[in-house]
Chain A
Amino acid sequence: MHIGRFGPPRKIRALAVGCAIAVGAAGAVASRAVAQQQQNFDNVQEDIVHVRDGVYMLVGAGGNTTVMAGDDGVLVVDTQFAPLSTKILNAIRSISDKPIRYIVNTHMHADHIGGNEAISKAGRTRAGGNVVGDLGAAATATAAIIAHENVLLRLSMAAPGQPQVPAAAWPTETFATRKQEMRFNGEAVQIIHEPHAHTDGDSLVFFRRSDVVSTGDLFTTVMYPYIDEANGGTINGYIDALNAILDITIASNVNEGGTMVIPGHGRLSDEQDVIEYRDMTTIVRDRIKEYVKRGMTLEQVKAARPTLDFDPRYGTPNGFWTPAQFVEVIYKEMKEAQGPARPQPKNQKSSRKGQTKGGGQ
């Protein structure tokens, strides 16, 4: 029940998500073992939200999972944390008893790939011809794991001092092009790479007939965009990705619904929710870009409070990815894009901003 005072529950939820992403981000350079140590998953329940047709959203801990089920089998987008694998499998089995054929990873953070190994082993992919001849039964023993090539590169090369993610959790099918396409359960599925956004290996998964897009952490409803610089993320790439989502989405004739959007974290959404988030992200980026252009220091920019109007909604001041961190990463990127310092004109007037895609680059 969410009547009345929304403040505390929202903060608790944001904190929980923040922790999940924190663990996920840590897992990007650490491991699922770290995640397990930091979170107790015993009380986590998988909330199954029917989105449309055979597409469902599972909300547990960590990133949201998308399940697409039909006669051909089950396709799973993102697998949350490893200790939740059994709960995720139970949720999938309540939707379909068909084999799990594919897992798609939207990126490489541990809160999105943690269940890869167990869920893959619970499935069977399709293979034939000389593939089966070479590999035997192993060719179909697990569900295939699909991701952009950079996900495999990041997972297979653990950062110094961090445990290795088991090879069984790595992607088995990667792509290095703009998109990967497949037809499954009678519908076209597009896996679209968005470069240098949340990380450098992000993908959107668009179910064309069902008209549902699963975004991974390229869109959330619970916090500011997390730009994982260490793994290739950038604010301009993130805004490009949000605009790419809006290129896909089309609202219904009453300007809501239509294409449904499953976020990386948070509630089920549609185009308008992405517009609000895109607007917020672009406005904050543009403000900081303008401040950098005026020669302001990071401390001055922070003092100007460029996120004040959005902090009560997206800020997690004491948790992971604070407004200050969000400002810092944008400032750094805008500063680098600006190049060497230039003299600033005096008496600058009010300015209406408005940047193009990647305008800060």
Chain B
Amino acid sequence: MSAKTQNERAWWFVLPVVLLVAFNALVPLMTVVNYSVQESFSQGVWFWSGVDWFEQTLHSERFHAALGRQLLFTTIILLIEVPLGIAIALSMPKTGPWVPVCLVLMALPLLIPWNVVGAMWNIFALPDIGLLGYTVNALGIDYDYTQNALAAWITVIAMDVWHWTSLVVLLAYAGLVSIPDAYYQAAKIDGAGKWAVFRHIQLPKMNRVLTIAILLRFMDSFMIYTEPFVLTGGGPGNSTTFLSIDLVKKALGEFDLGPAAAMSLIYFLITLLVSWLFYTIMTRQEEEG
């Protein structure tokens, strides 16, 4: 055995990743940090403003309202998509010729780009020409998502459920088919019913994939932009202006770079914090369960 060569050459192997992360995340993030602590009047004129923008954002009613809408939206779609996804996964066949058919049907909505989904639902739900909007109105229900805030919310939520429940279904299904038959046989021999099988075998065995599903759905829905932007543009009024839509309005519409930068940092930290909370709580539960 020869003595190990000691040199610093290994660092070269790390360099590509460092560069990638730098250009991908660190440099843009630091630009945002740079904006968030300064005030810019015109090109090249900068004033140090400290944490003023952060204070302003945290105290602004507009931010509170957008954050509230965002939290409400995410809560609602999680409450709908997770149970619905599990229910659909449970009712899908485990073997046989229908399995690929079901899987492809389930995967279809996931393959459609966000802006197309928004445009589809925009036309689909229009009260005068859209199939859904026209039908609902023909049934005697007054429905116009361009005028009525509640209708707008229902439409945005329906769109998200249509687009993303499949993700939960596919993950839950993957968890379900990985349960060995022996567990179901043991339950049968004990004389356990369907609910007991779900509660004591299927749910605990799906724990891991559900953690991932909830986490992904939380992050995605919390950062949702394209679909509601194309569908409602944040309206009517500000009723469907979620955080990211508000942020873009502020940064690109009003060109308030400082406050927008501060807001996006706060937004980023909230997403990070809640994701971490979700993950910690759910993995701890798993350890106990």
Q: Is B a genuine binding partner of A?
A: no
Residues of chain A whose beta carbon lies under 8 Å from any beta carbon of chain B:
none
Residues of chain B whose beta carbon lies under 8 Å from any beta carbon of chain A:
none
